[in-house]
Every structure is written in C-alpha cells, then in structure tokens.
Chain A
Amino acid sequence: MAERSFVEEVKKLRLGAGDIFSGEGILAVTKGLLESGVAYVAGYQGAPISHLMDVLADAQDILTEQGIRFENSASEATAAATLAASVNYPLRGAVTFKATVGTNVASDALANLASGGVTGGALIIVGEDYGEGSSIMQERSHAFAMKSQMWLLDPRPNLPSIVDAVKQGFDLSEASSTPVMLQLRIRACHVHGQFVASDNVPPKFTLKDAMESPQRDVSRIVLPPASFVHEQEKVKDRWPAAVRFIEERKLNEFFGDGTDDVGVIVQGGSYNTMMRALERLGLADVYGNSKVPLYVMNVAYPVIDSEVLRFCEGKRAVLLVEEGQPNFIEQNIATILRQAGVTAALHGKDMLPVAGEYTAAVLLKGAREFFERYGRVASLAVPAPVRKVIPLIEVPAAPVAAELPLPPLEDSVHARPPGFCTGCPERPIFSAMKLVERELGPHHISADIGCHLFSILPPFHLGNTTMGYGLGAAGAAALNVPAGKRAISMMGDGGFWHNGLTSGIANAVFNRSDNLTIVVDNNYTSATGGQDILSSKANNPTRSTGHEIEQAVRGVGVKWVKTMRRTYDVAGMRDLLRDALTTKEKGPKVLIAQSECMLNKQRREKPLVRKAVAEGQRVVREKFGIDSDTCTGDHSCIRLSGCPSLSIKPNPDPLRTDPIATVLDSCVGCGNCGDVSHAAVLCPSFYKAQVVSNPSGWDKLLERVRGAVIGWMQRGDAKRRERFAF
C-alpha cells in the first residue's frame, strides 16, 4: 500500500447522525456511500478520485462491519462490469474512476449494463479531470451518458449538495432501472467544506444472499431479441420514470427573482463560479440571492423539457452556461424551445468560449456581454481610440532620468513542467536511454501513461506518442517491419496489469514483433498514489501480491526477458538497453526495470531513520555534493538528470561567471548523479558523503587514525600554500 495512512480520514467514515463532517469533497462522497446502504464498491485509482479508493482500502474494518465488499478493480472496465451485481439483485453498488479516460475503458461494460438496466441502485462516480492541471485529453463524460442513456448528475460543488447527489443518485437509479453517473470536477473533489452527517446504513440485501440464492432473468441479458426490447424500454419506460423522479424530487433548482425576462441556465458544477460572476456584476449577493432567475441543472442528462419550458416561458433571452464541447445541452434546449415555439433567445457558446475551462474570468466576461446586451448592466466605457499623431514637444533642456520600462514579465516567468521527483528510480532509465541515443542514434519511442511520461519533457525529450494507459507497446505495433533500428515502448507496472500484458506484450508475441518494451516496475502504481497491484512487494492482508511481472511475460511467450533490479545502475541499464536494441535474437524483447518509488519509500523510511537515530543506533545517511572549484558550469549533469535536488548556484570563483551545479539539501542519495557522471564520463566534481550518526567505536577509531595521518599531510600542504598566499 501507499505507505501512507488514512487513519484520520477513516475516522470520519464513522460519524453518526448530527455530527459535523469536515473534509474533502471526495471523502464526503465516501461517507455518502456508507449512508446510502451500498453493498459493494469498486474502482480504479487516478486523480482526482484516488483518495476515495485509498480511504476505503484503509477502512476495511468498517466495511466488514457494514457487510460491504470493496474491490480494487484491475481496470475501469472491471469496475464497471462489477456493477453487474445490481442487475438481478436489489444490491446498491458504486464504482469510481477518473474521466474521461476511465469512462473510455469502461464503456463496453457500461453500455451492456445500461442496456439491460439495473434492479439495485448503480452509481458511477467519475472524477472529471478537465481544465487547469489536467493530465489527459480534454473531453466530456457527458457523451457516454447520452450514448448509453445513463443519467448524469452534476451537483453544485458544496459538500451538502454532493452528498445529497449520492443519495438521490441511488434512488434515481432504482426508480428508473438505470445506472447513474455522478460527475465531480477536480476542484469539487478537492474542495474542503462541511456537512451534517447521518448514520451509516448497512445494506438490506447482501452479496451473500445473492450468491446463495441466485436469480436469473433472460430479459436483462444483452442478446437478441432482448437487446431490441432494451432500446425501446430506455425511451418508453426508463426515461419517463427518470423525468418524473427528477421533477418530483426537485433535483434541479430554481433560484432568484422569477419576474425578470432574462435568465441563466447553469450546470450545477459551474454554479459557484457563475454566482461569483453575477455577484461581481452586481446582480447577486454573496449568499446567492440573485436579481436574475437561475435554473441550476444538477442533472445534466436527461434535460427535463417541462422545467426548461417553465423557465424560458415569457423570457426574452436565456444564457446557457455549459462547460466543454460539443454543446450537447445547448443543442438539446434549442430543440425543446423550437418545438414548443418558445421565442426566448438562447445564448451559450455564442457568448462564451466554445472550448476550454469556464474559469471565473471567462464566465465574468461572457455574463457581462449577455447582461449588457439585455440592458441589465451598464456597458463599460470603451476607451476612445487614440489617433496616432507625431507629437510636437519641446526638447527638454536637461535630459530627464526617465524610468526604464520593465521588460515583459513573460521573459522572466518560465513554465514549470512536471518532472521526476528527487531520487525517482525512473530517472536513471531515461539517463541511460540518452546515453544509448548517443551511441545508436534516436529511436522511435512509444510512451505510456504514468510518471515515466515525463520523459517527453525537458531535460530528456524522449517519446513520440502516447495512446493511453497500458498501450505503450500497442502504440508501436505497426512499426513491425525489418529495419535497421527497433522501436522502444514504455509501460508502467500499473499499465502492464491494467491491460498492457495482453494489448502490448501478448500482441507483440503473436504478431512476431522484434521491438523492445521497457516495463517500469516501482513496486506499486506510483503515479496514482502508491496503490498495490499484483506485482507489489508489500504484504497486503486483504490482497494477493508478489506476482512477478517477469513470470507473466514469460507466460505469454516472450523469450528475451531481462530484469534490472536496481535502476540506479545507469551503466548497467545502458548496457542492457544497448543489448536489447542490437541483439541478433528475433522476437519481442522485454526489459523490466525495478526500483521502488522514492516518494513513497521516503514516506515510509524517513520516520524510521529519525527514530533509529534518536535511539542511538548507527545510521548512515548518503548525500551527493559537487565541488564548487572543479565544476565548470556546463550543466551536462543536469541535462542528463533533471533532478529537483540538482540545481545551480552563483559561481563563488571570481574569475568565472556561469553558475555552477549544486546538490540541494533535499538529496536522498539515490546514487543517480554518481552513476551518470561515471557512465557518461562527465566530470569529477561529484562526491558522495556518507554521514554516520551514532558512529561505532570502530568508526571513531578509524576516524582518529585518518584524521591524524591525513590531517598531518593537509597541514603541511596548507603551510606551503600559505607561503605564497596574499
């Protein structure tokens, strides 16, 4: 496991009725699940919903007490398929993953699930990684809800609304026999707030009940003729049932003074930002009391025709705030208004940007345009155009010391692309790859999803494409003809078990590929927070770990498999890479590069080391350093590393001007610097200091002897130098 403990968070899951829950949005969802009588939860980790998975993994005792099963799914497809338990049985189930990448992977299972429909409530919690800081392609989960006809909730981003959406979501799912997606944007997942908790509710019907008295209903299985019936059911039964439920429970909200003839329709998730824009325009106060009527769609799909018509009736114009593209809701509402002959003008992507995140600044600009057009706010004074004329000025008698204009700030503010952490075991893999590149020239590199993708950024600049999680090897599948060079594919251990073993490795075996795949094995899925997977080294009481990647690779028929057990050995890594790229042996080559994720390792080991030192045990700490008088400031070492702890500082040498390299205090002594300077024959400036705390008697004796001999010689040396000093 992540070497992190979620004990504090787990305590919050035990809160009872009336207690105040204070914490993160995604944790509130977790509590909401327990209060809804959920029988099972499954999911696949990834920002921004990793926290939900981590907390549940640490809350096994509470889950067991409540009779809830928690599955760490192999992939999002596995997670979605897990919801099959709710098809025949009145079992409430929830799955979670990041979107849209997770929804993509899950879509086959989701489509099958949505076709047959569900008996027990099925909730799909998607963490929408969209906008600033996102690491994935910018798309909407909305399309998946539409194509499979699942309902999509997009609640206002405050904890009471989010928790309410969880509970209503299960009810809606059961009322309409349809799986429900709950979409949470990244900021909503991480928002800190409070809500009043309720008691946890154990499931009424249990998984054990289901297993011991199985039920079967052929009409729920996706096979003709049932599949054709499902399509009809969706529009004739389930949709109307959902609409009735949403209307009755008032899941969508109406705010503001209903008498005005202009209004705003906003998705729940964008509500807070939109309110801030209205408040800035003087159209609302800080409590959300608005002068203009608002229709807040906490249900993004389906659109409720009756509510839209009620809101738009008698209005001159409405502004629709719909983040992302295509503008599904806008098209839908336009149809509703047109068919009903409502004359209200519909504005949306004509005033707001078609694509991109709807930030506060963007919404303020769009709202201003709308309300200026309809006379609700005065237009900002437009500065009169300045006519360019040659000014007649007198030459000043004495030159005035004019303030120099500042050079543009853009020149001084650099991008900070993400990179490998201090001591990351993946860094030496790419350092070695750079060295091989010097010998054999550049290769096509098919990258994968994971921290190793940072290799495409400075300083490594390695990697040509990335096609999705676990698809590194698959991404090089076409490059499979006799050629002078082999293609290289990257894959993480997470991606390997997610699908890479079959989509990449087995595929390469079957199609007689001659390429190289590097599997980066960090002992767990590092990028998503250190969750255990099959090949984890950790002893996990509730999961089976320790299944070697090498065995799996051999099992599907790869003959050339090498495992590097210490990636920090840059020269060894380089030699293996060279061998894999030049060997005469045909068939796919797999190189497994193993070393534990340093971020998680440090989280575990730092406190242990501190404790050992305090207890008086002999502890050796290693730290790298650079001699300032031998470093010439070329920074080759930085270009082969990019370590956050390897930086620069002003040159203390009065004769030199280029800054020299320096190792910051945050160095963990991983050894990469030394190995790179050896393997790349860089420069002799690196040293490794071994600092021994609580030295033994032998250490002290040795130190005294060395001090005496070396000190004597050094003193003589210093005296000679002193003679000529001035």
Chain B
Amino acid sequence: MNATQPIKIAILAMGGEGGGVLADWIVDLGEHNGYIAQTTSVPGVAQRTGATIYYVELYPEARAKADGGKPVLALMPLPGDVDLVLASELMEAGRAVQRGLVTQDRTTLIASTHRVYSIAEKSAMGDGRVDSQQLVNHANKAAKRFIRFDMAQAAEQAGSVISAVLFGALAGSGVLPFSRAQFEATVERGGVGVKPSLKAFGGAFEWVQSGSEADAPTAALPARAAPAPKDPQVRALVERVQREFPEFAHFLLLEGVRRLIDYQDVAYAGIYLDRMAKVHALQLNDGGRLVESTARHLALWMSYEDTARVAALKTRSTRFERVRSESSAKADQVVAINEYMHPRLQEICETLPGGIGRWLMNSGVPRRIVERMTQKGRVVQTSSVHGYLLLRCVAAAARWRRSTTRFAEENRFIEQWLERIAQTAAINPALALEIAECQRLVKGYSDTHVRGLRNYELVMGAAQRAGSALAPATLRELRDAALADEHGNKLRDVLARYALA
C-alpha cells in the first residue's frame, strides 16, 4: 500500500479573524500547484467572537494519478496526526496543544504571541490575565518546532491583517512544498488588499527565514536617568528619599513624590515622605516588603481621583497628543475630543471649598436644584475653547482641595490605615503587609468607589475584630474575595466561613 500521506493543517482562530481567508489561500495555493485540496470548518456561532478550527488537507495530484486513486481526505483533525498548526493568537495556540493537535514528533506550530483577552480575563475586578509565558512554555514543550512572534503588531505595521502574516510565516517555515513566488501568486489571485497583504507576508517570511524562532529578545529597559530636579524644594525631597530610605524603595518613593507634586504641591509630597518615614522607622526584617507596598499604596491613596484631578489630566497637551495617536488620526485630519462626564451632587460638593460644599450638601432648595440638574450625564468637548475652559476651571479647584469634605474624609481613612499598619507590624509584620495591600480595594469613581470603600471597611472591620490572631493568608483570601464579584457574594461567604461576619 502507498505510504504517501496528505499534508494535514489545522488553523485555530477566533471568529472574524481571517482564519477562513487563510484556509482558502492554502487551498488555492495547493490547487494551483499540483495538489488536491480540501478544507472545512464549523463556523456556526463561533463566527461571533468564539474560537473555531479550520482544517485543510493537501495531497499531491501526480502521486494520486500514478497510483490510480482518489485520496479520501478527512474533515477534522485527528489528535497526534497534524503536520502544521497555525494559531492567530497565543491562547488559541494553547488550545491547539490542549486538544492534542500539537505533537513533538511532527507538528510545526506557527502562532502569534499577542493576546486577545478572554471575557473572563477582561471582566475580572482586578487582574485576571493568564500568564502568557505558561502558554509559550506548554506550546514549546509540545511542538516539534514553534515559530512565534507578535503578528498583530506585524500586521498593523504593514497595514494588513494577521492572516497575511501567518501566511508569510508559513511560507518562511518551509514546511509546505511551495516556493515564495507560489505563495505570493496566491495572495495576488485573492485580489483583495493585495499590496498590504504582500508587505505583511514578506515581513513575516523574512523574519522566519532569518531563523529567529524564539521570541525576539526584549529590548532591555532603558535605564532610568538619575533624577535631576531643577526646583530646590523638589531637590530637597529627592535627596531626602535618597538619604533616609534604603535603595530598593527609591524607585517607588520617587514615583510617589512625583505623583503627589503633580497632584497637589511640593508640601503635599513632603507629607507623603513624613508618613513613609514612620513606616520605615518600624524597622521590620521583612526584606523591605512593607515599605515598598506602603510606598505604592499610600501614594495612590493620597492622589485619590476627584473631579479636579480628572479635569487636570484631561486638559493636558500630552493627553491631546495621546488621543490623536490612539485614534490613528493622520496629520491632515482634525480631531475633536468629547468627554463623557457625569458629576453628581456628591462630586460637586466635594469639589467646592469645604464650607460651601458642606452648606450645599445640607441645604434644601439649592441642593434639590443641583440634584435635578445633574440627573443626566454630560458630554464636554475638551477640544473646543468653551469645553476646555470649563475643565480648566474645574481643575483649578485643586487649589482648595485640602479644605474639601472629601479630603478630610480620605485623610481620616489614610491615617487609620497607617495606624493599623504600624500597630499590626509590631505584632505580625506579614499581617501588616496584607493590611497595606488592602488599599487596592479602594478605587474608581462614584458607585465603584462606594463599593470599593464598603468592601475595604468590611475587610478592615473583620481584621479589627479578629485582631492579631488573624492569619495573613486569611486576610489575603478576604481581599481576593472582595475582588471576586460586584455583589459581594464571595466576600460574604468567606467572612461567614471564618466566622468574621
């Protein structure tokens, strides 16, 4: 019996990513160059963002003629019996491995290393991303040869789509018995977006041919220039960091100082360092972890997001440039920027100078008028003179920020938190670290912020009741539970489980 086998190719892609185009190209490539080709797929609901597999088999026509037979080609891949797997994204490459399509004895795996995050990763309340390196490791272990690079980026640079890059990488891999010219002729026959497709194809072809199979070496991070403050007051702060704190903490502390000067003023950054000095003075033998964690979280808490801050960030020239680049606007195009703002009574009172804010909050008719006026969200065009001035005025409220009710409130929380860290550190440094990390729960705006603060208080209340008997791991579990769902169900469960409710 004849031993010639069809070439078996599986393409894993998500709906609308061009997996079908790629399969059609391979079929066309085969049919024009002496091969019998068959492809099939199961699009169905997968067309709408789901994952799907296209399967192609190629068989040499001359061989079939010589043997006097017609090959019976399969309609689905058999695990362990696939020569080539193309994956348009890294998790899909992982899925191919999971399904047993990638085997070390024969499978060449060509995959893009970029990530299209799954809905579970995206909708997590904190960081739900999977570790890309794990996916790479698994694929590396499973494949005979693993060709990979960021094809989304390559496609974008060429102004084309991922399928063209994959096609180029496939040609470059030399796994199929066709020449570069034959590959390119296929793209030309397709007739759609030929020029950018060929550019993307060529780039990928050469990249793979150059033999850089593994990841392109990540460019070493440019060493941060030593801080060179111009302002004498700022210089004093920088020198204080360098003098009073251990070196490992410099990076975060300087970032904190930078943030708080930008947020308020130099004096405010000074308060930050005063507070940090107290934490440092605890002199814990924990490898500096508490200092680092507190440095990070204290800076974030002290620069809590209020209306003035948002307005300040939105009116900067750097931000205007960023919007232009994120909207891929060309030089000859005009860009208008529209903000979606929804200030409510609460935020307005928090922005007004303390006394006026308190008065408005507790007033009768004026309060109701403002409430009525703020029922709907507003669109502010920052790129117009009118809108820009409006936001600049709001940003100017930072001047009296320290008199606002919000500031007093946040300050109270910060002091309590620092106090608790200090007290706990004396008994159990590991637990103190977990308390410091709990600041992560407080973030966002309006309802999100209210929810975060409520969770924070629940967790802190539990920690308070449990006292020093609380295991650090339990507190970490409570914190993770608070980030598990919006309704606080998980947190309630865990609190009940540890009898901390």
Contact = CB atoms under 8 A, between A and B. Distances in A.
Interface of A: 22, 47-48, 129, 131-135, 157-158, 186-188, 190-193, 271-273, 275-277, 280, 284-289, 359-361, 364, 406-407, 409-421, 451, 454, 457-459, 571, 623, 625, 627-630, 632-636, 638-639, 642, 644, 646-648, 654-659, 663, 665, 673-674, 677-684, 686-693, 695, 699-700, 703, 705-706, 709-711, 713-715, 717-718, 721, 723-726
B248 to A, nearest CB: 15
A627 B448 contact: no
B447 A47 contact: no
A677 to B, nearest CB: 5
A421 B75 contact: no
Contact of A683 (B81, B238, B314, B445): B445
B334 A416 contact: no
Given A414-B121, A684-B342, A421 B48 contact: yes
5 contacts: A287-B72, A409-B98, A635-B125, A681-B377, A691-B327
B123 A635 contact: yes
Nearest to A644: B49
Contact of B37 (A192, A410, A682): A192
Interface stretch (B226-234, B423-431, B459-467, B472-480): B226-234
Nearest to B137: A406
Most chain A CB within 10 A, of B5, B42, B134, is at B42
B229 to A, nearest CB: 4
Nearest to B487: A438
A632 B75 contact: no
Nearest to B375: A571
Contacts of B445: 632, 681-684
B266 interface: yes
Most chain A CB within 10 A, of B49, B124, B388, is at B49
A687 B342 contact: no
Contacts of B266: 724
B168 interface: no
Interface string B114-134: 001111111111110111001
Majority-rule SS of B interface residues:
mixed
Nearest to B259: A655
A648 B117 contact: yes
B105 interface: no
Contact of A135 (B45, B51, B254): B45
B49 A129 contact: no
A558 to B, nearest CB: 30
The 5 closest A-B pairs by CB, nearest first: A287-B69, A678-B377, A133-B42, A726-B229, A360-B78
Contact of A636 (B45, B231, B258, B486): B486
Contact of B77 (A360, A639, A679): A360
Contact of A361 (B78, B323, B452): B78
A699 B336 CA distance: 10
Given A413-B98, A674-B340, A287 B15 contact: no
Interface stretch (B89-97, B278-286, B348-356, B491-499): B89-97
B40 A191 contact: yes
B188 interface: no
A655 B40 contact: no
Nearest to B298: A655
B123 A638 contact: yes
A289 B3 CA distance: 12
Contacts of A418: 15, 45-50
A689 B227 contact: no
Contacts of A713: 388, 392
A360 B72 contact: no
B162 to A, nearest CB: 12
Interface of B: 1-2, 4-6, 14-16, 24, 27, 31, 37-52, 59, 64, 67, 69-79, 81, 91, 94-95, 97-98, 100, 116-127, 129-131, 134-135, 137-138, 141, 156, 227-231, 234-235, 238, 251-252, 254-256, 258-259, 261-262, 266, 296, 299-300, 305, 309-310, 313-320, 322-324, 326-329, 332-342, 344, 376-377, 379, 382-385, 388, 392, 440, 443-448, 452, 486
B43 A47 contact: yes
Contacts of B16: 421
Most chain B CB within 10 A, of A190, A193, A412, A718, is at A412
A183 B360 CA distance: 73
Given A186-B42, A286-B2, A415-B118, A689 B335 contact: yes
Contacts of A634: 125, 443-444, 448, 452
A16 B100 CA distance: 44
Given A648-B121, A726-B238, A677 B333 contact: no
A156 B142 CA distance: 34
Contact of A714 (B42, B98, B320, B328): B320
Given A418-B47, A724-B231, 20 more contacts: A132-B42, A190-B42, A364-B78, A413-B94, A414-B91, A630-B309, A632-B444, A634-B125, A635-B124, A655-B296, A656-B300, A658-B127, A658-B443, A659-B127, A687-B340, A689-B337, A691-B328, A692-B335, A711-B317, A724-B261
Contact of B299 (A410, A655, A709, A714): A655
B64 to A, nearest CB: 7
Most chain B CB within 10 A, of A287, A623, A648, A726, is at A726
B46 A635 contact: no
A695 B333 contact: yes
B122 A647 contact: yes
Given A412-B131, A638-B123, A689-B336, A133 B46 contact: yes
B333 A285 contact: no
Contacts of A644: 49
A684 B341 contact: yes
Contact of B130 (A412, A421, A625, A646): A412
Contacts of A286: 2, 4-6, 59, 69, 71-72
A718 B317 contact: yes
B138 A412 contact: yes
A598 to B, nearest CB: 11
Contact of A710 (B51, B379, B385): B385
Nearest to B304: A632
Contacts of B71: 286-287
A416 B118 contact: yes
A276 B74 contact: yes
A725 B14 CA distance: 45
B44 A409 contact: no
Contacts of B116: 647
A692 B336 CA distance: 8
